[in-house]
Structure 1
Amino acid sequence: MKKANFIVFVLMMSLIIARHAYAQLPQPNIPQITDTLKFIASFAYWFVIFTVLIIMVVKLAYGRLQASTGVPGISSRGYTETWEAVSGLVWTLIILLAAPWIAYIAASALGLPQVPQLIVDVMTYIYTHNPLSP
């Protein structure tokens, strides 16, 4: 019994005296998290683009269908639907193309050194699936 107590005492003292450098602390895997976030951003980006395109094509077809009826009230609504679809598509494309540049310029102007590079990496990954920096 005394030998067991002595062994426990020695182990406890060695743990207390041990340097903190030997401690095994969990390290988050930042590149893996960054890659996952880039993939999510890429998926969300293309999901939004295809969703908007599908909605606009359906809206355009519905508007053309209404416009082709020849009935004054219905055909004017059809032309309205058609122009809404076209303008919605144009504005969506403008926003999707301009938003990364706006974020990049804002981050550069605010002096956030890593944010512009991360935005460039995400946009590069979205378009090429080949990130520039790790």
Structure 2
Amino acid sequence: MEKYIDVNGQKIRLTQELIDENPDILNKIDGKSAYFAGRARGCYDLEKINYTIRKQEYKYILPLTVMLVMVMITSNILSSKLVSLNGFTITGGMFVYPLSYIFDYIITDVYGFQYARRVVWSAFFSMVFSPFVSGWY
């Protein structure tokens, strides 16, 4: 890997050998050339690097997704049921719905925002689809 870089107004061909012989040259180059030099340094002697392929295991994503969808659908069903506590009338869904925040928080922290977004969208479409399946229409 090689590239011409500008060192004090002079064009020099940057090679791994030049960096090995004169490591101070990296202090004299601009940011873009330093980025290239770092990449060249990282790609040098790739056959000596021991790569390990780690498969990410998402073994709890499915149960967490099912629990979140279950909580969301249950809270929608219970939202039509009124409960009276000490003179306050609230819906039954208010007891169950906070669990959805807990499951969503766990999914976001453990599996990342992308998976959490997919799970929330699947919960949303499940909630939209559930009245048609159960005959509420």
Structures share a fold, TM > 0.5?
Answer: no
- Normalised TM-score (structure 1): 0.34
Looking at secondary structure, tell me which structure has more helix per residue: 1
- Normalised TM-score (structure 2): 0.33
Looking at secondary structure, tell me which structure has more strand per residue: 2
